[in-house]
Every structure is written in structure tokens, then in C-alpha cells.
Amino acid sequence: MSDPPTLERATVAELQALGLFGALDDDVLGLLADRLPLLQVGCGDVVFREGDGGRAMFVVLDGDLEMVKRSQRGHDARIAGPADLRNHDVA
């Protein structure tokens, strides 16, 4: 079992590197960086599950993400993986 996720803060430089935030100036990015927690997860950790409330947005700063959907028969089907999500800022 992996360690529990650690909360830190994103940096202005990390946010600047994402196209999603590219039009924002340093002051606004600083405000975001101060308020947005950085969630570090390990390989195989579940970030959210289908049906969870949609009150958060996740931005992948580093690493890969895989999205899997469970069928009605209980089988997992990969719907997106690292190659599908590369060059997309929001996953």
C-alpha cells in the first residue's frame, strides 16, 4: 500500500508552463498558486471515481494519468492513457 497523498502548493512557474493558464499574468498566477493544493499521488492511486461529485478540477503537472471506466458487467476498460492525454493540459 502506498503512502497517503501529500498536500503542497503549485508554483507560479509550474502554472506558467501549462497552456491552460498561459494568458494569466504573474499576479493572478501567484494568487492561484497560493490557493491551489498540489496533490501528489503514487502509481496505481485512485484520484477520483466515476460518480464522485464534480467540485474539483485536476491538472496533471508531471507524470502520467490513465482513465478507466468500469462496465456494467464489472470489467475495467481503459478509456484514456498517457499517450491519449499528452499535450492536453487538463485531464
pLDDT at position 16 over 50: yes
In the chain, where do the E strands start and end?
Answer: 6-9, 37-40, 67-70, 76-80
- CA-to-CA distance for 3 and 27, rounded, in angstroms? 34
Q: What is the mean pLDDT of residues 44-68?
A: 83
Phi, psi of 48 (to 5 degrees): -155, 165
The more confidently predicted of residues 78 and 16 is 16
| pLDDT tens, position by position, 26-55 | 999 999 988 888 888 888 888 888 888 888
The more confidently predicted of residues 4 and 50 is 50
Three-state secondary structure call for residue 73: coil
- CB-based contacts of 73-82 (< 8 A; 24+ apart in sequence): none
